[in-house]
A and B are shown apart, each in its own frame.
Chain A
C-alpha cells in the first residue's frame, strides 16, 4: 500500500480534472438531506456529511429503470419485440461513499451476479464505476457496522479509501483500478508518516465507540425453523405499518418489480424497487398470498437479512449496519433489537 496525501484544495483540483473526463458523483446537500448526485461543479460536493438519507444503491439499481423498449405499431414488423433500452455506461467515479455502503454493494453482488445469471444493468454499472470511499471518523449513534462484519474504515468493496485527517486527506488505493485513478488524477505525493499515524488513530477511536451489539454467528447457529416460529415476532411486528421506508432506504434491499407501460404505440418494460413489506409483493394471481399477514412480511424481512442470506451464501448477514432504517422507520422498529432477539444474546 502506498498511501497518498492531498490537501483539501488539491483534492478539489483533482476532482475538477476528473470531471472534465468522466462523470463524478458525490454527496451533495439537497433540500433537507444529503444525496448522491452527479456533480455539476466541485463546490457542490460536501465531504463533511455524515451519510446520505437514501443509500447510494440507486447508482447501480435505480428506483425506476428502463429495461426494454418496444413498439406496438401494428404495421411494424418489429412490433412486440423487446429491445434493450440505451443506458449511460460511461466511466464514472463515485466519491465519498461510506465504507458500509461500499460493502453493501459486495453483498448485493451475490444476488445480482450468480454463476448462472448476470444482471446486465448491475454488472455494467458496477464495471464502469470506481468507488472512492470516505472513512467515518465519527460514526453515528445508530451505526453498528462493526457488529455486522464491516467497519468505519473498511476497505471492502472500495477502490480507494480517503481518510479526512484534518488539513487534507490520506488516500489509500485498494485496487488496481484505484491506483490508476489516483495516478490519473495526478495524486502522487506519498503520505508522510504522521499522516498515516493520524489516520490510524482516527480509525481506532472510530471503531472503539462502536462495539458489538449482537452476534451474527449466533444467528447463523440458530435453527432456521425455530427462529421462523419464534414467539417474539408478534411483538416485533406490532408497530410496523408495512411502508417501504426501511427497504427503500436500505443499501442491501434489492428486490424489484417489473412493469410494462404503454404510451401510444410505444412501450417500456421497466423495473422498479419493490418491497417485501407490501402485500402485493407475494400476491398470486389466484388470490392466494403466502405472506398475507403483516407478521409474515416483517419476519420475512429480518429473516432474509439476518438468517436466510447467511445460510444461503455463508458470508455474513445482508446488513451493513448503516442505521438508516433505525433512524427513519416511522414507528421505530429497530433492527438491532430484532437481531438481539434472533441471536438470543439478550433477554429483551
Chain B
C-alpha cells in the first residue's frame, strides 16, 4: 500500500528552504502574510478643507494582533477593504500611542474613495507593518531636521510624536520641523501643529504657499525658501524629507548648501504596490523593492539606483 508520504512529507526533507525549516513545523500554523488583521474604524476625522484627506483611527479586533503589529515610525501598512482591495499607506500614529493605529488617506482611487465613505464602527483590515523605517538607531544623539510638504506629513507626524514622547525625547538633540502646504486649510493635524508650536523642545516652521487669511501668524513661502531662511544647522544633524517630487527637487540643493551630506538626507518613496512584502514584483527601483527594502532611502542610496521612481 502506497503511503503517499513521499509527497506529503514535512519540511525537513525539502531542500532549499532552510529558513522555513528553521521556523519549525508551520503547516496550518504559518502566518499568512497576505491576511489582514481585522480592525474597527473608531473615528474618522476630515483633515483638510478640500475634504480630500481624512484620518482614520483603527482599533484591532483581536488584542493579540495589536501585540504582533510592532512598528517603527516611517513604516507603512496595507489598508484592506473587503470587496475593493488594498492600498499602501504610511502609518501616521506613533508606536508610543497605544491602543490604535492612525492613517491619513488621500482620496484618489477606488479603495481610498470607498474608505472616505466609511464610518466609525465599520470593519476593515490592516496588513503590516511593512517596509523599513527612519534610521532611529543612527538618529540617536543627533539633531533632527524634518521637512514635509502637503499630505506627505503622515509618517513625519509619527516621527515627531515618537521623538517628543518623554521616554524618547532625551535620545535626540534639537528637533526642527519645516512643514508647508498650499494653504492653511490644507495643513494636516492642525491642533497638534499648534501644540508643538507652543513647546520649546521642538522648533516649528509652519508655512503656506499663500493665504489671504489676515490671522495667519506663521510663515508664507515655499518649503525650499523657508528651509533656506530658517537654515537649520547640519552639524551633527540628519534631515528627513517627505513631500511632492517638486518640493523635494528644490529642497535638496538647499540641504546640500546647508552642509547635509547625501547619507544624512533621508527620504521616503511612494510606489504602486500590491503585496507589500517584496514578492509581487512591481515596486522595484533597480534591485530594491520599495515595499520591503524601502520605502525609506538615504539620498546616497538613491544615487546608486536607477532614476525610475
Q: Which A residues are closer than 8 A to B by beta carbons?
A: 17-18, 20-22, 67-68, 70, 72, 79-82, 84, 90-93, 106, 109, 111-120, 123-124, 126-130, 157, 175-177, 180-181, 184-185, 224-225, 228, 254-260, 262, 267, 269, 271, 274, 276, 281-286, 290-291, 296, 300, 303-304, 308, 311-312
Contact = CB atoms under 8 A, between A and B. Distances in A.
B83 A117 contact: no
B290 to A, nearest CB: 10
B7 A81 contact: no
Given A117-B277, A262-B83, A20 B2 contact: yes
Interface stretch (B32-40, B138-146, B185-193): B32-40
24 contacts: A21-B4, A22-B4, A72-B83, A80-B82, A80-B125, A113-B17, A118-B19, A123-B30, A127-B11, A127-B14, A175-B15, A181-B6, A224-B306, A255-B280, A255-B281, A256-B274, A258-B274, A259-B85, A267-B83, A269-B34, A271-B280, A274-B274, A283-B272, A285-B272
Given A126-B14, A257-B280, A260-B84, A118 B125 contact: no
Contact residues of B: prevailing secondary structure: loop
A119 B279 contact: yes
What's the interface size class on B, roughly?
Answer: 35 or more
Contacts of B10: 127
Given A128-B8, A260-B84, A281 B270 contact: no
Nearest to A69: B82
Contact of B2 (A17, A267, A312): A17
A91 B282 contact: no
A290 B83 contact: no
Contact of A82 (B20, B36, B270, B277): B36
A81 B60 CA distance: 12
Contact of A22 (B7, B15, B27): B7
Contact of B282 (A81, A267, A276): A276
Max chain A C-beta neighbours (<10 A), residue from B4, B80, B86, B304: B4
B9 interface: yes
B87 A285 contact: yes
Contacts of B195: none
B83 to A, nearest CB: 5
A123 B20 contact: yes
B2 A21 contact: yes
A177 B286 contact: no
Interface of B: 2-11, 13-17, 19-20, 23, 26-27, 30, 32-36, 38, 80-87, 108-109, 112, 122-125, 270-272, 274-275, 277-287, 292, 304, 306, 308-309
Given A113-B20, A262-B83, A282-B272, A79 B123 contact: yes
Given A119-B279, A281-B282, A290-B308, A175 B274 contact: no
B268 to A, nearest CB: 14
Given A228-B306, A308-B287, A82 B125 contact: yes
Given A72-B83, A113-B20, A92 B15 contact: no
A17 to B, nearest CB: 7
Given A80-B122, A80-B124, A274-B281, 8 more contacts: A90-B8, A106-B16, A118-B30, A126-B17, A175-B15, A184-B4, A285-B272, A290-B309
A129 B9 CA distance: 10
Contact of B279 (A111, A225, A262): A111
A314 to B, nearest CB: 11
B279 A304 contact: no
Given A290-B308, A311-B287, A80 B38 contact: yes
Contact of B286 (A79, A175, A296, A308): A308
B287 A284 contact: no
Contacts of B38: 80-81
A177 B3 CA distance: 13
Contacts of A285: 87, 108-109, 112, 272
Contacts of B108: 285-286
Contacts of A112: 279
A282 B282 contact: yes
B124 A68 contact: no
Max chain B C-beta neighbours (<10 A), residue from A67, A129, A254, A285: A285
A79 to B, nearest CB: 7
Contacts of B9: 127, 177
Nearest to A20: B2
B125 A91 contact: no
Contact of B287 (A82, A93, A224, A269): A224
A296 B270 CA distance: 18
B84 to A, nearest CB: 6
Contacts of B26: 118
Given A82-B36, A111-B279, A180 B125 contact: no
Given A92-B7, A312-B287, A81 B279 contact: no
Contacts of B82: 70, 72, 79-82, 260, 267, 269
B308 A296 contact: yes
A256 B279 CA distance: 8
Max chain A C-beta neighbours (<10 A), residue from B85, B112, B124: B85
Nearest to B269: A290
A130 B14 contact: no
Max chain A C-beta neighbours (<10 A), residue from B26, B278, B284: B284
B304 A109 contact: no
Contacts of B19: 113-115, 118
Nearest to A312: B287
Contact of A80 (B123, B278, B281, B308): B123
A68 B9 CA distance: 25
A295 B285 CA distance: 15
